[in-house]
Amino acid sequence: MPKPIEKMGADEILASSKKLFFGGFCLLPMLWVYNIFYVWPVRNRSDLSPQVRHYMLLSGILSIVLFIVFAAWFGIFVNQRLDWGTTGDLLTVVLVKGV
Amino acid sequence: MVTTRFKARAILSKIAISLAAVCILANAQDTYDTIYNDVGSLPCVRLLNATGSIGCQSMDAASGVLYRADTVEDIKQFANNNELGNKYTVVIPYWLLSSSNIDLLKSSNKLAAILAVVNGTDTAHAAASRPTTITSPDTTCPNCDFGLYANTPNRYQWNPTGSGLLFEQFDFPIYALNTMDNRNIMSYNSVMQAANRNRDKGYRDYPLKSLQFHSFMWGAQDTGACLRKGWCTPVGGASVWSTPSNNISYTDEKPIVIVAAAIDSRSLFHDITLGVESSVAGMVTVLAVAEALSRSTIPLDTMPKHIVYTLFTGEAWGFSGSQRFVQDIMSSPIQCEKAPTSGSGCAFPFYSDLEFQRLNPAKIEAILEVGQIAGMSVAGGEPILYAHVDNIQEAASTMLLNQVVQVGANGSVTAPASTAGIAVLAASSDGVKRGLPPSSSMAFLKSRGNIPTVVLTDYQKQMSALTNHDEDDSWNTPNAVNLIQKAASVISTTAWLQAQGVSDAAAMTPEQTQAIASIQVDAKLIQDLLGCLSLNYSCPLVDRYLNVTASNTPPTRLPHYSGTLYSQSQPFPIFVWSFLANMTSVKSTTSPSQRVTGCSSQSATVQCGPKEYCVGDQCVVSLTRYHDAFGVGIGMNANGQYYIKDASKPVWTESTWDPIGLRMFDVTSPGSQVAELMTGIVLTIVSSCVIWYSRRFLKKTLKED
């Protein structure tokens, strides 16, 4: 049973947060979202290193930026893929019949 | 405590198992049959071209209460009736299927699907109720975008009344009802019975009869997109060409006389495409010409010129058959990169047969084509045959035109007396030069404009209103036979004179005079062919060649839509092939001896020679070949996949689809449907609560034990 974050020491929280933040760069952006939710309950602890808040903030910014990028791409893809011809077909995993 | 819980569980699981068993034991098919009644279906389907799609598509299974509308007033009443609170399948006579009426039905927001009755026994649908003015569902100039005058400004409109219905897109199902055979009569009767019952109930007294349609088409956008995804197949089939000149070669320097017509036709509902006016009469004419010429006492293969019969498939789809034939003979010799593993032809570039390389396109010296000729456009009045020529290089065809008109006038030479009243006139005899009507010859003239060409039709200015119509099913047989006989007589005589190189009958030798008298067109044959190729494919004539009556369900009326390439049987090309193979091999210097018979009936003992075919139980030597027919804009790559090679040329494809069909069932009122749903939801909630409470109760009680 892993230790709940409330019972972790400040250095352990920093280590976890750091791992989650850098892990996100390995094409795992959901780790950034997780990072925020994970550290959120202890964000106001006085003994916490300020670096933790940095990692949270950066994770948050990257999550939002990526969300916008993905949402924009999704919108463009859904509306334009039929016009892209062969390229559109290549980018589509499941071709939708009848449209 | 543990044992009690086990017992309770065991009882529960036993109940569950027995419930499941009951469900499985109740035969699924029986349940289906008590709910649904499958109805024979004649759908309108989706077709695609270079720029878009036409025809019908419905993304989901549309269903609607049967509603009967017999007149335009009924349709208006339906559209304006706010008391109708459901989706409806509107049953209308075919002739009400017009853009304006469809828009009216759609605007009501109550339309689920349309059933168009092409021919029915109800007085509202009977042939007698058909309006006197009919409009062709094709465009005002069918296929002209792919014809000889495609780039001519203000080209002549041959079909001015054309409504263009065939080229519209519908996002709901449209099906036809037609009482053409027992199965379809049953469907019609059950639908009409249900629609009448609904009407008697005022469309309010539920349960009402409803129809559900499955009409989901895979292909979308255009031909390019759907070919890439493999969701459509090129529209096409097999053309047939045949020549009595068994030894014809590319280099023999002998000129060629082409006798041509189309095999296929189109209409909104492919399963009932008949096209007696559009194509069948022309096809019958060419077959009758081949039979008449086979009687020539001077063998045709000894003449100074070759005669080649060509019957094209896919003509209704941008002249696909003729254009591909011309394209192929123009590109011979073919550089075959990959030989086929078996049989003839070439694997890549794909050709199912390569004998066409023996035809030298530069040597084509005359084309005689038969277009619409059944006389179905002539209401009363004297039937007249009109000979059309190209108006760009008109001089090239003048001599041939004069010959056709002269042969038509000198009926006494070969034409039977019954056709004496039918005149043959130059179409430009009224002083207006309209050029050629939409025809297969255009493909040849596109490659070389100075080929003398005459197209014979029964119209001068305007194509029949029944062009590509679904209701072209009532022709006057004696009239049609007379016209076909006259046309066949004119074409056979002209072709014979052309092949002999005789321009003036007066200059003929006694032998030639005797030979030309020997080519007589057989009226009985024409009548048989017309009957066989329109309404009864299992007739004795076809049976003699193809033994069709041996089948458990002998075919009767078959659709004249070409179908999709290599995926459907081609009954008409097959018959045409057999017939022409027989006719072109009759009097030939290469097969003077008696034919061997019994090759199909006693196949164990009688074997045909290596270059012989078994046709109608006889071994014949004949140069008769199929030729692939599909849009010349479509190419096939080395892997056998189709792609768009040239989007400016015909690229018609037909969408693939999920199983198509329609079924009838009783539907309850929308109110009771909501009530049923609510009851279900309430029951679910109540039973959930009961289970939750009883579990809690059981837990407590068992713990206390």
Express each pLDDT in B297-354 by its tens digit: 999 999 999 999 999 999 999 999 999 999 999 998 999 999 998 888 999 999 999 9
Q: Can you give the pLDDT at residue B703?
A: 80
End-to-end CA separation in angstroms for chain A: 50
ipTM value of the model? 0.74
Q: Directed axis angle between helix B670-704 and helix B2-25, to 10°? A: 160
Quote the radius of gyration of chain B (alpha carbons, Å): 31
Residues 52-91, chain A: which have Cβ within 8 Å of B? Answer: 82, 85-86, 89
- Chunked in runs of 10, what are the mean pLDDT values of chain A (99 residues)? 84 93 94 94 89 93 96 95 90 89
Tally: H helices and E strands in chain A: 4, 0
- Identify all chain B residues contacting A82, using CB atoms and an 8 Å cutoff: 221, 225
B99, pLDDT greater than 80: yes
Residues in chain A: 99
- Start-end of H helices in B201-299: 223-229, 281-293
Minimum-distance CB partner of B228 among A86, A98, A99 = A86
**In angstroms, what separates the C-alpha of A75 from chain B's closest C-alpha?**
20
The mean predicted confidence, pLDDT, of chain A is 92
Return the residue matching tokens 């009548």.
B527
pLDDT at B2: 45
For residue B1, pLDDT over 50 is answered with no
Hey, CA dihedral for B383, B389, B390, B392, is it positive or negative?
negative
Is the pLDDT confidence value at B414 over 80?
A: no
Report the pLDDT value the prediction gives residue B502, as an integer from 0 to 100: 87
Cross-chain CB nearest to A97 (options B218, B224, B228):
B218
B225 vs chain A: nearest CA distance in angstroms? 7
Residues of B in contact with A98 (CB under 8 A): 57, 59, 216-220
What burial class does residue A74 get, using C-beta atoms within 10 Å of its C-beta: 0-12 exposed, 13-18 middle, 19+ buried? exposed
d(C-alpha B15, C-alpha B559), whole Å:
55
Residue percentage of chain B with pLDDT more than 90? 73
Give residue B688's pLDDT: 97
Please give the pLDDT value at position B141: 96
Per-residue pLDDT at B19 exceeds 70:
no
Q: Give the closest-approach CA distance of A80 to chain B in angstroms.
A: 13
CB contact under 8 A, A82 and B221: yes
Q: Residue B401's pLDDT is what?
A: 96
C-beta of residue B623 within 8 angstroms of C-beta of residue B248: yes
Neighbours of B4 (CB within 10 A): 12
pLDDT tens digits, one per residue of B457-506: 999 999 999 999 999 888 999 999 999 999 999 999 999 999 999 877 77
- Which residues on chain B are in Cβ contact (under 8 Å) with A95? 229
Answer for the pair B522, B288: CB distance below 8 angstroms, yes or no.
Answer: yes
Cβ A89–B229 below 8 Å, yes or no?
yes
> For residue B12, what pLDDT is reported?
58
Q: Please check the confidence at residue B417 and state whether its pLDDT lies above 80.
A: no
Residue B689: which H helix or E strand, with range? Answer: helix B670-704
Token duo for residue A30: 């959901």
Lowest mean pLDDT among B31-40, B166-175, B420-429: B31-40
Give CA angle at B119 (B116, B125), nearest 5°.
75
Percent of chain A with pLDDT over 90: 66
Q: Mean pLDDT, chain B, as a whole number?
A: 90
Of A82, A95, A98, the CB nearest to B216: A98
The answer to whether the CB atoms of A98 and B228 lie below 8 A apart is no
- What is d(CA B198, CA B241) in angstroms, rounded to the nearest whole number? 54
Task: Pick left, alpha or beta for residue B345 (phi over 0 → left; psi -120 to 50 → alpha; otherwise beta).
Answer: left
pLDDT at B6 over 60: no
> Residue B652: which of B95, B146, B40, B281 has the closest Cα?
B146
The whole-number pLDDT of residue B633 equals 97
CB B453 within 8 A of CB B391: no
Q: Judge contact between B260 and B441, C-beta under 8 A.
A: yes
Chain-centre distance for alpha carbon B366: 29
Residue B290 in contact with residue B583, Cβ under 8 Å? yes
- Which has more pLDDT, B644 or B508? B644
Please tell me the number of Cα atoms within 13 Å of A77 on its side-chain side: 14
More confident residue, B26 or B219: B219
Packing angle of the helix pair B523-534, B477-500 (nearest 10 deg): 120
Q: Which residues of B touch A97 (CB under 8 A)?
A: 216, 218, 220, 231
User: Residue B253 region, left (φ>0) first, then alpha (ψ -120 to 50), else beta?
Assistant: left
Start-to-end CA distance of chain B, whole Å, equals 7
Nearest to B217 among A82, A89, A98 (CB): A98
pLDDT, one tens digit per residue, over B100-159 is: 999 999 999 999 999 999 999 999 999 888 898 889 999 999 999 999 999 999 999 999
Place of tokens 């065991």: B10
| pLDDT value of position B196 | 96
Instruction: Examine the pLDDT at B598 and tell me if it is beyond 80.
Output: yes
User: What does the domain layout of chain A look like in residue ranges?
Assistant: 5-91
Confidence check: pLDDT of B292 > 90: yes
Question: What's the pLDDT tens digit per position in B65-78?
Answer: 999 999 999 999 99
Pick among A80, A89, A97, A99 to test the B interface (most B CBs inside 10 A): A97
Spatial neighbors of A24 by CB under 8 A, at least 6 apart, are A30, A31, A32, A35, A59, A62
pLDDT value of residue B376: 86
CB neighbours of residue B195 within 10 Å: 24
Helix (H) or strand (E) holding B366: strand B364-370
The residue of chain B with its CA nearest to that of A95 is: B229
**Contact status, residue B704 vs residue B3, Cβ threshold 8 Å:** no
The B-side interface with A (CB below 8 A) comprises 57, 59, 216-221, 224-225, 228-229, 231
Q: Which two tokens stand for residue B378?
A: 């002539």
Question: What pLDDT, on a 0 to 100 scale, did the predictor assign at position B30?
Answer: 80
* Residues B241-257: b if buried by 16+ CB within 10 A, e if exposed: bbbbbbebebeeebbbb
Interface test with A, best of B170, B226, B228, B643 (most A CBs within 10 A): B228
Nearest to B220 among A85, A89, A99 (CB): A99
pLDDT at B412: 46
Task: Give tens-digit pLDDT for B174-200.
Answer: 999 999 989 999 999 999 999 999 999
Nearest CA in chain A to B219: A98
Question: What are the CA-CA distances from residue B340 to residues B345, B611, B626 (Å)?
Answer: 7, 19, 17
For residue B13, the model assigns a pLDDT of 59
Q: B581 and B624 in contact (C-beta within 8 Å)?
A: yes
B216 chain-A contacts, CB cut-off 8 A: 97-98
Mean pLDDT for B579-602 is: 77
Dihedral of alpha carbons B231, B236, B238, B241, sign: negative
What distance lies between CA B422 and its chain's CA centroid? Answer: 30
* pLDDT score, position B236: 95
Spatial separation of the C-alpha atoms in residues B560 and B275, rounded to whole Å? 7
**Contact, B519 vs B273, CB < 8 A?**
no
Judged against a pLDDT cut of 60, whether residue B7 lies above it is answered with no
Q: In a 10 Å sphere around its CB, with 0-12 CB exposed, 13-18 middle and 19+ buried, how is residue B687 labelled?
A: exposed
Nearest C-alpha neighbor of B372 from the set B460, B434, B312:
B460
Supply the pLDDT for residue B603.
82
pLDDT per residue over B368-411, tens digit each? 999 999 988 766 667 899 999 999 999 999 999 999 999 998 75
Q: From the CB of residue B689, how many other CB atoms can be counted at a distance below 10 Å?
A: 10
By percentage, how much of chain B surpasses pLDDT 70?
A: 93
Q: Averaged over B87-97, what is the pLDDT?
A: 96
pLDDT grade for B611, boundaries at 50, 70 and 90: confident
The amino acid at residue B521 is: V
CB contact under 8 A, B59 and A98: yes
